[in-house]
Amino acid sequence: MIAVDTNVLVYAHRKDSEWHAAALRMMKALAEGRSRWAIPWPCIHEFLAIVTHPKIYDPPTPVAAALDSVAVWLNSPYCMLLSEGPGYFDTLRRLVTSGRIAGGMVHDARVAALCLHHGATKLWSCDRDFSRFPQLPTTNPLAAP
């Protein structure tokens, strides 16, 4: 199961991103495909915070439009939302301890722990910080092959 990180969601949503076309194509393939795929809840929250932020985008995405994008992804019959549940803390603890994680990296550890906890086999992300979690194979789907 592929999980999708915030940056891929942002690029697929924002038409002013230089990676918009490629990210949108990849998200459409997931949403219209017949394989399970996932979005961690923290990535949904971060997506909403980023695209609607007036200091990041001028103009920012209207909140209603950002929520509509999320709704489209969640309406995919094979989309799964990843959230904390029984046993999640043990996974988080292992990642934080083995990766010597602190501060802002805790957010990435949370995303990685959610993916591993739910059996994701790959995370699509443009963020190289996930290399600190070798247990979770990470691919930048927008990088040239």
Tell me the mean pLDDT in the region 40-63: 98
* pTM (2 d.p.): 0.94
- Beta strand ranges found along 15-126 (DSSP E): 37-40, 79-82, 122-124
Is 2-139 a domain of CATH 3.40.50.150?
A: no
Cα–Cα distances in angstroms (integers) from residue 15 to residues 47, 110, 125, 130, in the given order:
14, 28, 18, 26
Is the distance from CB of 81 to CB of 36 less than 8 angstroms? no
Taking the C-alpha atoms of residue 96 and residue 92, their distance in angstroms, rounded to an integer, is 6
115, pLDDT greater than 90: yes
* DSSP conformation class of 34: S
Q: Which of 41, 106, 129 is nearest to 79 (CA)?
A: 41
Taking the C-alpha atoms of residue 104 and residue 62, their distance in angstroms, rounded to an integer, is 27
Domain ranges, ordered by start, for the chain: 2-139
Taking the C-alpha atoms of residue 101 and residue 140, their distance in angstroms, rounded to an integer, is 22
16, pLDDT greater than 90: yes
| Each residue's pLDDT tens digit, 52-71 | 999 999 999 999 999 999 99
The dihedrals phi and psi of 135, each to the nearest 5 degrees, come to: -65, -20
Residue 143: pLDDT band (50, 70, 90) is confident
